[in-house]
Amino acid sequence: MYTDIHFDTIDISRGAPDKEPERQYYFIAKCRQYTQQFFREMGRFPTATVQTFGCQMNARDSEKLTGILKAIGYREEEQEELADFVIFNTCTVRENANQKVYGRLGQIGKIKKSRPHMLIGLCGCMMQEAEEVEKIQKSYRQVDLIFGTHNIFQFAELLYRRLTSRRLVTEVWDGTDQIVEELPAERKYPFKSGVNIMFGCNNFCSYCIVPYVRGRERSREPQDILNEIRQLVSDGVVEIMLLGQNVNSYGKTLDQPMTFAKLLQEIEQIEGLKRIRFMTSHPKDLSEELIDVMAHSHKICRHLHLPIQSGSTRILEKMNRRYTKEQYLSLVSRLKEAIPELSLTTDIIVGFPGETEEDFQETLDVIRKVRYDSAFTFIYSRRTGTPAANMEEQIPQDMIKDRFQRLLTEVQTISSESCCIHEGSTQEVLVESIDSHEEGYVTGRMDNNLLVHFPGIPSMIGTFVRVYLKKCKGFYYIGELVK
Protein backbone atom coordinates (compact mmCIF):
# COMPACT_ATOMS: atom_id res chain seq x y z
CA MET A 1 0.00 0.00 0.00
CA TYR A 2 1.36 3.45 -0.90
CA THR A 3 0.18 4.66 2.51
CA ASP A 4 3.00 2.58 4.02
CA ILE A 5 5.69 4.24 1.89
CA HIS A 6 8.12 6.57 3.66
CA PHE A 7 9.38 8.67 0.81
CA ASP A 8 12.32 10.11 2.72
CA THR A 9 13.81 6.63 3.20
CA ILE A 10 13.98 5.96 -0.57
CA ASP A 11 17.56 5.88 -1.86
CA ILE A 12 17.65 8.69 -4.43
CA SER A 13 21.41 8.62 -4.90
CA ARG A 14 20.96 5.77 -7.38
CA GLY A 15 19.25 5.87 -10.79
CA ALA A 16 15.46 5.64 -11.11
CA PRO A 17 13.94 2.14 -11.10
CA ASP A 18 12.19 1.04 -14.31
CA LYS A 19 9.27 -0.64 -12.58
CA GLU A 20 6.04 1.22 -11.71
CA PRO A 21 4.89 2.47 -9.27
CA GLU A 22 8.35 2.30 -7.61
CA ARG A 23 9.67 4.64 -10.29
CA GLN A 24 7.13 7.30 -9.34
CA TYR A 25 7.82 6.84 -5.60
CA TYR A 26 11.46 7.56 -6.47
CA PHE A 27 10.54 10.78 -8.29
CA ILE A 28 8.22 11.85 -5.49
CA ALA A 29 11.23 11.50 -3.18
CA LYS A 30 13.38 13.50 -5.62
CA CYS A 31 10.77 16.30 -5.84
CA ARG A 32 10.58 16.40 -2.03
CA GLN A 33 14.11 17.75 -2.06
CA TYR A 34 12.81 20.74 -4.00
CA THR A 35 9.92 21.46 -1.60
CA GLN A 36 12.24 21.11 1.39
CA GLN A 37 14.70 23.52 -0.15
CA PHE A 38 11.81 25.91 -0.87
CA PHE A 39 10.92 25.69 2.83
CA ARG A 40 14.48 26.49 3.91
CA GLU A 41 14.61 29.52 1.61
CA MET A 42 11.08 30.88 2.04
CA GLY A 43 10.13 29.72 5.52
CA ARG A 44 7.04 27.94 4.12
CA PHE A 45 6.20 25.05 1.83
CA PRO A 46 5.17 25.80 -1.77
CA THR A 47 1.45 25.74 -2.52
CA ALA A 48 -0.47 24.18 -5.39
CA THR A 49 -3.98 23.94 -6.79
CA VAL A 50 -5.54 21.57 -9.31
CA GLN A 51 -8.42 23.21 -11.17
CA THR A 52 -10.78 20.69 -12.72
CA PHE A 53 -12.87 21.11 -15.86
CA GLY A 54 -15.35 18.53 -17.11
CA CYS A 55 -16.54 15.20 -15.83
CA GLN A 56 -16.23 12.92 -12.80
CA MET A 57 -13.30 11.12 -14.44
CA ASN A 58 -11.36 14.35 -14.48
CA ALA A 59 -12.40 15.07 -10.90
CA ARG A 60 -10.95 11.70 -9.85
CA ASP A 61 -7.76 12.33 -11.88
CA SER A 62 -7.41 15.65 -10.06
CA GLU A 63 -7.58 13.84 -6.72
CA LYS A 64 -4.70 11.66 -7.91
CA LEU A 65 -2.66 14.72 -8.91
CA THR A 66 -3.42 16.37 -5.56
CA GLY A 67 -2.35 13.18 -3.76
CA ILE A 68 0.99 13.21 -5.57
CA LEU A 69 1.46 16.94 -4.90
CA LYS A 70 0.85 16.39 -1.18
CA ALA A 71 3.29 13.48 -1.11
CA ILE A 72 5.86 15.79 -2.73
CA GLY A 73 5.31 18.34 0.02
CA TYR A 74 3.04 20.91 -1.60
CA ARG A 75 0.31 22.47 0.52
CA GLU A 76 -3.13 23.07 -0.97
CA GLU A 77 -4.11 26.62 -1.93
CA GLU A 78 -7.58 26.93 -3.40
CA GLN A 79 -7.13 30.39 -4.92
CA GLU A 80 -5.14 29.96 -8.09
CA GLU A 81 -3.77 33.51 -8.06
CA LEU A 82 -2.01 32.75 -4.76
CA ALA A 83 -0.65 29.28 -5.60
CA ASP A 84 2.97 28.57 -6.53
CA PHE A 85 1.88 25.79 -8.87
CA VAL A 86 -1.41 25.89 -10.82
CA ILE A 87 -2.59 22.86 -12.77
CA PHE A 88 -5.53 22.95 -15.15
CA ASN A 89 -7.03 19.52 -15.71
CA THR A 90 -8.82 20.22 -18.98
CA CYS A 91 -11.88 18.94 -20.83
CA THR A 92 -12.49 19.03 -24.57
CA VAL A 93 -15.86 17.37 -24.96
CA ARG A 94 -17.47 20.58 -26.25
CA GLU A 95 -15.92 23.71 -27.78
CA ASN A 96 -16.91 25.97 -24.86
CA ALA A 97 -14.88 23.72 -22.53
CA ASN A 98 -11.74 24.60 -24.53
CA GLN A 99 -12.61 28.30 -24.52
CA LYS A 100 -12.93 28.29 -20.73
CA VAL A 101 -9.42 26.84 -20.41
CA TYR A 102 -7.90 29.47 -22.71
CA GLY A 103 -9.68 32.22 -20.76
CA ARG A 104 -8.28 31.01 -17.44
CA LEU A 105 -4.85 30.44 -18.94
CA GLY A 106 -4.77 34.05 -20.13
CA GLN A 107 -5.67 35.32 -16.64
CA ILE A 108 -3.11 33.20 -14.84
CA GLY A 109 -0.44 34.16 -17.39
CA LYS A 110 -0.88 37.81 -16.36
CA ILE A 111 -0.43 36.88 -12.70
CA LYS A 112 2.69 34.89 -13.49
CA LYS A 113 4.32 38.01 -14.92
CA SER A 114 4.48 39.45 -11.41
CA ARG A 115 5.30 36.09 -9.77
CA PRO A 116 7.92 34.54 -12.08
CA HIS A 117 8.67 31.54 -9.84
CA MET A 118 5.11 30.32 -10.39
CA LEU A 119 4.60 27.06 -12.31
CA ILE A 120 1.69 26.35 -14.66
CA GLY A 121 0.75 22.82 -15.70
CA LEU A 122 -1.83 21.61 -18.20
CA CYS A 123 -3.20 18.10 -18.45
CA GLY A 124 -6.41 16.26 -19.32
CA CYS A 125 -8.35 15.61 -22.50
CA MET A 126 -7.52 18.82 -24.35
CA MET A 127 -3.82 17.93 -24.24
CA GLN A 128 -4.49 14.80 -26.31
CA GLU A 129 -5.22 17.06 -29.28
CA ALA A 130 -2.03 17.90 -31.18
CA GLU A 131 -3.39 21.22 -32.54
CA GLU A 132 -4.18 22.48 -29.03
CA VAL A 133 -0.74 21.53 -27.70
CA GLU A 134 0.89 23.26 -30.67
CA LYS A 135 -1.18 26.40 -30.08
CA ILE A 136 -0.20 26.45 -26.39
CA GLN A 137 3.48 25.90 -27.13
CA LYS A 138 3.41 28.77 -29.60
CA SER A 139 1.17 31.34 -27.97
CA TYR A 140 1.11 30.57 -24.24
CA ARG A 141 4.76 30.73 -23.27
CA GLN A 142 3.92 30.92 -19.57
CA VAL A 143 3.12 27.17 -19.48
CA ASP A 144 5.74 24.90 -17.82
CA LEU A 145 4.30 21.43 -18.08
CA ILE A 146 1.95 19.68 -20.52
CA PHE A 147 0.91 16.06 -20.12
CA GLY A 148 -1.83 13.83 -21.47
CA THR A 149 -4.53 11.61 -20.01
CA HIS A 150 -2.29 8.51 -20.23
CA ASN A 151 0.59 10.24 -18.42
CA ILE A 152 -1.13 11.21 -15.17
CA PHE A 153 0.71 8.46 -13.29
CA GLN A 154 4.05 10.03 -14.36
CA PHE A 155 3.21 13.39 -12.82
CA ALA A 156 6.05 13.32 -10.24
CA GLU A 157 8.59 12.29 -12.87
CA LEU A 158 7.49 15.03 -15.29
CA LEU A 159 7.50 17.66 -12.58
CA TYR A 160 11.01 16.60 -11.61
CA ARG A 161 12.06 16.99 -15.24
CA ARG A 162 10.64 20.51 -15.28
CA LEU A 163 12.27 21.46 -11.98
CA THR A 164 15.69 20.33 -13.17
CA SER A 165 15.56 21.48 -16.83
CA ARG A 166 13.72 24.79 -16.37
CA ARG A 167 12.21 24.29 -19.81
CA LEU A 168 8.72 23.40 -20.97
CA VAL A 169 8.17 19.66 -20.52
CA THR A 170 5.63 18.01 -22.84
CA GLU A 171 4.66 14.35 -22.55
CA VAL A 172 1.54 13.15 -24.33
CA TRP A 173 1.10 9.50 -25.21
CA ASP A 174 -1.44 8.58 -27.88
CA GLY A 175 -2.58 5.52 -25.99
CA THR A 176 -1.54 2.90 -23.47
CA ASP A 177 -2.55 -0.48 -22.12
CA GLN A 178 -0.83 0.26 -18.84
CA ILE A 179 -2.76 0.81 -15.59
CA VAL A 180 -0.46 1.86 -12.75
CA GLU A 181 -1.90 0.97 -9.33
CA GLU A 182 -0.92 2.15 -5.86
CA LEU A 183 -0.26 5.82 -6.39
CA PRO A 184 -1.35 8.41 -3.82
CA ALA A 185 -4.77 10.06 -4.15
CA GLU A 186 -6.30 12.79 -2.02
CA ARG A 187 -10.06 12.72 -1.49
CA LYS A 188 -12.18 15.85 -1.67
CA TYR A 189 -14.66 14.33 0.80
CA PRO A 190 -13.55 12.04 3.66
CA PHE A 191 -16.75 9.97 3.49
CA LYS A 192 -17.23 9.41 -0.25
CA SER A 193 -14.99 8.71 -3.18
CA GLY A 194 -14.89 8.00 -6.89
CA VAL A 195 -13.26 4.73 -7.92
CA ASN A 196 -12.14 4.13 -11.50
CA ILE A 197 -13.14 0.72 -12.72
CA MET A 198 -12.16 1.26 -16.34
CA PHE A 199 -10.55 3.79 -18.61
CA GLY A 200 -11.23 4.82 -22.20
CA CYS A 201 -14.14 4.07 -24.50
CA ASN A 202 -14.65 1.83 -27.53
CA ASN A 203 -18.03 3.11 -28.65
CA PHE A 204 -17.14 5.85 -31.09
CA CYS A 205 -20.43 7.71 -30.92
CA SER A 206 -20.03 9.85 -34.03
CA TYR A 207 -20.13 13.24 -32.21
CA CYS A 208 -17.79 12.31 -29.38
CA ILE A 209 -14.10 13.07 -28.96
CA VAL A 210 -13.65 10.87 -25.86
CA PRO A 211 -12.49 7.66 -27.60
CA TYR A 212 -9.76 9.71 -29.31
CA VAL A 213 -8.52 11.46 -26.18
CA ARG A 214 -9.04 8.75 -23.56
CA GLY A 215 -8.03 5.81 -25.73
CA ARG A 216 -9.30 2.25 -25.93
CA GLU A 217 -11.34 0.65 -23.19
CA ARG A 218 -9.26 -0.94 -20.38
CA SER A 219 -10.73 -2.47 -17.23
CA ARG A 220 -8.93 -2.63 -13.92
CA GLU A 221 -8.52 -6.05 -12.33
CA PRO A 222 -11.41 -6.78 -9.94
CA GLN A 223 -9.00 -7.50 -7.08
CA ASP A 224 -7.36 -4.08 -7.48
CA ILE A 225 -10.79 -2.40 -7.40
CA LEU A 226 -11.95 -4.40 -4.36
CA ASN A 227 -8.70 -3.71 -2.50
CA GLU A 228 -8.96 -0.01 -3.19
CA ILE A 229 -12.55 0.08 -1.92
CA ARG A 230 -11.66 -1.92 1.21
CA GLN A 231 -8.85 0.55 1.89
CA LEU A 232 -11.21 3.50 1.38
CA VAL A 233 -13.80 1.98 3.72
CA SER A 234 -11.21 1.39 6.42
CA ASP A 235 -10.36 5.06 5.97
CA GLY A 236 -13.95 6.19 6.65
CA VAL A 237 -15.58 6.09 3.20
CA VAL A 238 -19.23 4.98 3.20
CA GLU A 239 -20.25 5.81 -0.38
CA ILE A 240 -18.42 5.08 -3.61
CA MET A 241 -19.04 6.09 -7.20
CA LEU A 242 -17.72 3.56 -9.72
CA LEU A 243 -16.41 5.46 -12.72
CA GLY A 244 -16.12 4.51 -16.37
CA GLN A 245 -17.24 5.94 -19.73
CA ASN A 246 -19.34 2.83 -20.22
CA VAL A 247 -19.46 0.82 -16.99
CA ASN A 248 -21.83 -1.73 -18.52
CA SER A 249 -19.06 -3.14 -20.63
CA TYR A 250 -16.73 -3.52 -17.63
CA GLY A 251 -14.53 -6.61 -17.67
CA LYS A 252 -14.86 -7.58 -21.32
CA THR A 253 -11.17 -6.99 -22.03
CA LEU A 254 -9.81 -8.70 -18.90
CA ASP A 255 -7.77 -11.93 -19.21
CA GLN A 256 -10.52 -13.50 -17.14
CA PRO A 257 -13.61 -11.64 -18.31
CA MET A 258 -16.13 -10.56 -15.70
CA THR A 259 -19.44 -8.73 -15.97
CA PHE A 260 -20.21 -5.40 -14.31
CA ALA A 261 -23.12 -7.02 -12.47
CA LYS A 262 -20.76 -9.62 -10.97
CA LEU A 263 -18.32 -6.90 -9.92
CA LEU A 264 -21.17 -5.07 -8.17
CA GLN A 265 -22.12 -8.23 -6.29
CA GLU A 266 -18.57 -8.59 -5.01
CA ILE A 267 -18.39 -4.94 -3.98
CA GLU A 268 -21.70 -5.32 -2.16
CA GLN A 269 -20.02 -7.85 0.19
CA ILE A 270 -17.59 -5.26 1.55
CA GLU A 271 -18.50 -4.68 5.14
CA GLY A 272 -18.85 -1.07 6.22
CA LEU A 273 -19.61 0.17 2.70
CA LYS A 274 -23.11 1.65 2.67
CA ARG A 275 -23.82 3.04 -0.77
CA ILE A 276 -22.71 2.17 -4.29
CA ARG A 277 -23.24 4.48 -7.24
CA PHE A 278 -21.92 4.22 -10.78
CA MET A 279 -21.74 6.14 -14.03
CA THR A 280 -22.02 6.20 -17.00
CA SER A 281 -24.30 3.48 -18.36
CA HIS A 282 -24.65 2.93 -22.08
CA PRO A 283 -28.17 1.68 -22.86
CA LYS A 284 -26.94 -0.81 -25.45
CA ASP A 285 -24.86 -2.72 -22.87
CA LEU A 286 -27.19 -2.61 -19.87
CA SER A 287 -27.91 -6.28 -19.13
CA GLU A 288 -30.86 -8.08 -17.56
CA GLU A 289 -28.33 -9.44 -15.06
CA LEU A 290 -27.57 -5.87 -13.95
CA ILE A 291 -31.25 -5.00 -13.56
CA ASP A 292 -31.67 -8.09 -11.41
CA VAL A 293 -28.62 -7.31 -9.26
CA MET A 294 -29.80 -3.72 -8.77
CA ALA A 295 -33.30 -4.84 -7.83
CA HIS A 296 -32.00 -7.15 -5.10
CA SER A 297 -29.17 -5.01 -3.79
CA HIS A 298 -29.23 -3.26 -0.42
CA LYS A 299 -26.38 -0.92 -1.28
CA ILE A 300 -26.75 0.08 -4.93
CA CYS A 301 -28.46 3.46 -5.04
CA ARG A 302 -31.83 3.85 -6.72
CA HIS A 303 -30.44 6.12 -9.37
CA LEU A 304 -29.37 5.46 -12.93
CA HIS A 305 -27.81 7.91 -15.34
CA LEU A 306 -28.86 6.59 -18.73
CA PRO A 307 -27.94 8.95 -21.58
CA ILE A 308 -30.45 8.89 -24.45
CA GLN A 309 -28.75 11.64 -26.56
CA SER A 310 -31.69 11.75 -29.00
CA GLY A 311 -35.19 10.30 -29.13
CA SER A 312 -35.12 9.80 -32.89
CA THR A 313 -34.06 6.36 -34.13
CA ARG A 314 -32.85 7.95 -37.36
CA ILE A 315 -30.55 10.35 -35.48
CA LEU A 316 -29.47 7.64 -33.02
CA GLU A 317 -28.26 5.63 -35.97
CA LYS A 318 -26.28 8.59 -37.34
CA MET A 319 -24.86 9.03 -33.82
CA ASN A 320 -23.77 5.36 -33.86
CA ARG A 321 -25.54 4.74 -30.54
CA ARG A 322 -26.68 1.26 -31.54
CA TYR A 323 -30.17 1.29 -30.00
CA THR A 324 -33.54 2.53 -31.22
CA LYS A 325 -36.04 4.76 -29.46
CA GLU A 326 -38.24 1.70 -28.86
CA GLN A 327 -35.38 -0.36 -27.40
CA TYR A 328 -34.51 2.48 -25.03
CA LEU A 329 -38.12 2.88 -23.88
CA SER A 330 -38.49 -0.85 -23.41
CA LEU A 331 -35.30 -0.88 -21.29
CA VAL A 332 -36.70 1.94 -19.17
CA SER A 333 -39.96 0.09 -18.57
CA ARG A 334 -38.10 -3.09 -17.55
CA LEU A 335 -35.98 -1.01 -15.15
CA LYS A 336 -38.98 0.77 -13.66
CA GLU A 337 -40.84 -2.48 -13.24
CA ALA A 338 -37.95 -4.19 -11.46
CA ILE A 339 -36.98 -1.13 -9.38
CA PRO A 340 -40.13 0.98 -8.95
CA GLU A 341 -38.48 3.80 -6.96
CA LEU A 342 -35.65 4.21 -9.49
CA SER A 343 -34.68 7.78 -10.35
CA LEU A 344 -33.54 8.25 -13.94
CA THR A 345 -31.37 11.01 -15.33
CA THR A 346 -30.01 11.50 -18.83
CA ASP A 347 -27.91 13.45 -21.36
CA ILE A 348 -29.49 14.96 -24.47
CA ILE A 349 -27.87 16.63 -27.46
CA VAL A 350 -29.82 19.05 -29.66
CA GLY A 351 -28.85 20.12 -33.13
CA PHE A 352 -26.98 17.02 -34.27
CA PRO A 353 -26.37 17.22 -38.06
CA GLY A 354 -29.53 16.45 -39.99
CA GLU A 355 -31.87 16.77 -36.98
CA THR A 356 -35.32 17.83 -38.23
CA GLU A 357 -38.26 19.21 -36.25
CA GLU A 358 -39.78 15.69 -36.38
CA ASP A 359 -36.59 14.19 -34.89
CA PHE A 360 -36.63 16.82 -32.17
CA GLN A 361 -40.29 16.01 -31.41
CA GLU A 362 -39.23 12.38 -30.89
CA THR A 363 -36.77 13.56 -28.23
CA LEU A 364 -39.52 15.54 -26.48
CA ASP A 365 -41.72 12.45 -26.67
CA VAL A 366 -39.13 10.32 -24.85
CA ILE A 367 -38.74 12.98 -22.14
CA ARG A 368 -42.50 13.00 -21.59
CA LYS A 369 -42.64 9.20 -21.45
CA VAL A 370 -39.63 8.58 -19.19
CA ARG A 371 -40.11 11.60 -16.90
CA TYR A 372 -36.47 12.05 -15.89
CA ASP A 373 -35.54 13.51 -12.49
CA SER A 374 -33.03 15.62 -14.35
CA ALA A 375 -31.46 15.88 -17.78
CA PHE A 376 -28.19 17.44 -18.87
CA THR A 377 -28.94 19.21 -22.13
CA PHE A 378 -26.22 20.07 -24.61
CA ILE A 379 -26.06 22.02 -27.81
CA TYR A 380 -24.26 19.90 -30.41
CA SER A 381 -20.63 20.94 -30.65
CA ARG A 382 -18.68 20.15 -33.81
CA ARG A 383 -15.51 18.40 -32.64
CA THR A 384 -12.77 18.23 -35.26
CA GLY A 385 -11.68 14.64 -35.83
CA THR A 386 -15.08 13.07 -35.13
CA PRO A 387 -17.18 11.62 -38.01
CA ALA A 388 -20.11 13.94 -37.26
CA ALA A 389 -17.95 17.02 -37.86
CA ASN A 390 -17.77 16.09 -41.54
CA MET A 391 -21.46 15.32 -41.93
CA GLU A 392 -23.49 17.49 -44.21
CA GLU A 393 -26.61 19.28 -42.95
CA GLN A 394 -25.04 21.01 -39.95
CA ILE A 395 -27.95 22.85 -38.32
CA PRO A 396 -28.04 26.68 -38.17
CA GLN A 397 -27.34 28.09 -34.70
CA ASP A 398 -30.61 30.02 -34.34
CA MET A 399 -32.62 26.88 -35.05
CA ILE A 400 -30.57 24.93 -32.47
CA LYS A 401 -31.02 27.67 -29.87
CA ASP A 402 -34.79 27.65 -30.39
CA ARG A 403 -34.95 23.87 -29.94
CA PHE A 404 -32.63 24.05 -26.95
CA GLN A 405 -34.94 26.54 -25.21
CA ARG A 406 -37.99 24.39 -25.86
CA LEU A 407 -36.13 21.32 -24.62
CA LEU A 408 -35.05 23.09 -21.45
CA THR A 409 -38.60 24.23 -20.65
CA GLU A 410 -39.94 20.69 -21.11
CA VAL A 411 -37.14 19.09 -19.06
CA GLN A 412 -37.49 21.58 -16.21
CA THR A 413 -41.27 21.25 -15.98
CA ILE A 414 -41.17 17.47 -15.93
CA SER A 415 -38.19 17.12 -13.61
CA SER A 416 -39.63 19.49 -11.03
CA GLU A 417 -42.82 17.40 -11.04
CA SER A 418 -41.03 14.05 -10.85
CA CYS A 419 -38.56 15.21 -8.18
CA CYS A 420 -41.43 16.38 -5.97
CA ILE A 421 -43.19 13.03 -5.67
CA HIS A 422 -41.29 12.28 -2.45
CA GLU A 423 -42.70 15.27 -0.56
CA GLY A 424 -44.08 14.21 2.83
CA SER A 425 -41.95 11.06 3.03
CA THR A 426 -39.01 10.35 5.34
CA GLN A 427 -35.71 9.37 3.71
CA GLU A 428 -32.30 8.26 4.83
CA VAL A 429 -29.70 10.83 3.76
CA LEU A 430 -25.94 11.05 3.86
CA VAL A 431 -25.02 14.48 5.22
CA GLU A 432 -22.43 15.98 2.85
CA SER A 433 -21.79 19.60 3.77
CA ILE A 434 -22.83 22.75 5.54
CA ASP A 435 -25.53 24.50 3.51
CA SER A 436 -23.92 27.54 1.93
CA HIS A 437 -27.22 29.41 1.58
CA GLU A 438 -28.89 29.03 4.96
CA GLU A 439 -27.11 29.42 8.28
CA GLY A 440 -27.63 26.53 10.68
CA TYR A 441 -28.56 24.17 7.82
CA VAL A 442 -26.72 21.18 6.37
CA THR A 443 -27.12 19.44 2.99
CA GLY A 444 -27.71 15.73 2.58
CA ARG A 445 -28.02 13.43 -0.40
CA MET A 446 -30.69 10.80 -0.72
CA ASP A 447 -30.28 7.38 -2.23
CA ASN A 448 -31.91 8.69 -5.45
CA ASN A 449 -29.28 11.46 -5.70
CA LEU A 450 -31.66 14.32 -4.75
CA LEU A 451 -30.50 16.88 -2.22
CA VAL A 452 -32.26 18.02 0.94
CA HIS A 453 -31.35 21.02 3.10
CA PHE A 454 -32.35 20.86 6.77
CA PRO A 455 -31.38 22.34 10.15
CA GLY A 456 -28.30 20.51 11.40
CA ILE A 457 -24.80 20.78 12.77
CA PRO A 458 -21.36 20.24 11.18
CA SER A 459 -20.66 17.08 13.21
CA MET A 460 -23.40 15.34 11.20
CA ILE A 461 -21.28 15.52 8.04
CA GLY A 462 -20.39 12.02 6.84
CA THR A 463 -23.18 10.33 8.80
CA PHE A 464 -26.56 8.92 7.79
CA VAL A 465 -29.66 10.52 9.29
CA ARG A 466 -33.40 10.28 8.67
CA VAL A 467 -34.99 13.40 7.26
CA TYR A 468 -38.65 14.30 6.74
CA LEU A 469 -39.12 15.98 3.34
CA LYS A 470 -41.24 18.96 4.25
CA LYS A 471 -41.23 21.05 1.08
CA CYS A 472 -40.10 20.36 -2.48
CA LYS A 473 -38.39 23.28 -4.22
CA GLY A 474 -38.30 21.89 -7.74
CA PHE A 475 -35.08 19.92 -7.78
CA TYR A 476 -34.25 19.89 -4.06
CA TYR A 477 -36.07 19.67 -0.73
CA ILE A 478 -36.27 21.50 2.57
CA GLY A 479 -36.51 18.96 5.38
CA GLU A 480 -36.49 18.27 9.06
CA LEU A 481 -34.42 15.82 11.05
CA VAL A 482 -36.38 12.84 12.40
CA LYS A 483 -35.15 11.77 15.80
Which residues contribute to the site for ligand SF4 (CB under 6 A)?
201, 203-205, 208, 210-211, 245-246, 282
The one of ligand SF4, ligand 5AD, none whose footprint includes residue 203, by CB under 5 to 8 A per kind, is: ligand SF4
Residue 324's Cα: distance from chain center in Å? 27
Contact 433, 461 (CB under 8 A): yes
Residue 330's Cα: distance from chain center in Å? 28
Contact 407, 439 (CB under 8 A): no
Contact 105, 51 (CB under 8 A): no
Interface pattern 355-384 for ligand 5AD (x via CB under 6 A): -----------------------x-xx-x-
Angstrom distance (rounded) from CA 10 to CA 23: 11
Question: In 3D, which of 333, 341, 260, 338 has the Cα closest to residue 292?
Answer: 338
Q: Which of 347, 402, 410, 428 touches ligand 5AD by CB under 6 A? A: 347
Minimal distance in Å, beta carbon 407 to ligand 5AD?
12
> Binding residues for ligand 5AD, how many (CB under 6 A)?
12
The SS3 call for residue 465 is: strand
Q: Footprint of ligand 5AD on residues 173-212 (CB under 6 A)?
A: 207-208
Nearer Cβ to ligand SF4 (245/345): 245
Contact 83, 121 (CB under 8 A): no
Q: Footprint of ligand 5AD on residues 55-94 (CB under 6 A)?
A: 93-94
Q: Footprint of ligand 5AD on residues 306-335 (CB under 6 A)?
A: 307, 309
Interface pattern 457-476 for ligand 5AD (x via CB under 6 A): --------------------
Minimal distance in Å, beta carbon 208 to ligand 5AD?
4
Minimal distance in Å, beta carbon 73 to ligand 5AD?
35
The one of ligand SF4, ligand 5AD, none whose footprint includes residue 204, by CB under 5 to 8 A per kind, is: ligand SF4
Angstrom distance (rounded) from CA 345 to CA 132: 33
The one of ligand SF4, ligand 5AD, none whose footprint includes residue 383, by CB under 5 to 8 A per kind, is: ligand 5AD
Nearer Cβ to ligand 5AD (88/378): 378
In SS3 terms, 17-74 reads as CCCCCHHHHHHHHHHHHHHHHHHHHHCCCCEEEEEECCCHHHHHHHHHHHHHHHHHCC
Quick check: 349 binds ligand 5AD (CB under 6 A)?
A: yes
- Taking CB atoms, the residue at the shortest distance from ligand 5AD is 347
**Which long-range CB contacts under 8 A does 358-363 form with residues at least 24 apart?**
358/312, 359/310, 359/311, 359/312, 359/314, 359/315, 360/312, 360/403, 360/406, 360/407, 362/310, 362/311, 362/312, 362/313, 362/315, 362/325, 363/308, 363/310, 363/311, 363/312, 363/407
The one of ligand 5AD, ligand SF4, none whose footprint includes residue 64, by CB under 5 to 8 A per kind, is: none
447: Cα within 13 Å, side-chain hemisphere? 19
The one of ligand SF4, ligand 5AD, none whose footprint includes residue 201, by CB under 5 to 8 A per kind, is: ligand SF4
Quick check: 276 binds ligand 5AD (CB under 6 A)?
A: no
Nearer Cβ to ligand SF4 (54/444): 54
Minimal distance in Å, beta carbon 293 to ligand SF4?
21
- H helices of 209-279, in order, are 210-214, 222-234, 260-268
The one of ligand SF4, ligand 5AD, none whose footprint includes residue 24, by CB under 5 to 8 A per kind, is: none
Binding site for ligand 5AD (CB under 6 A): 93-94, 207-208, 307, 309, 347, 349, 378, 380-381, 383
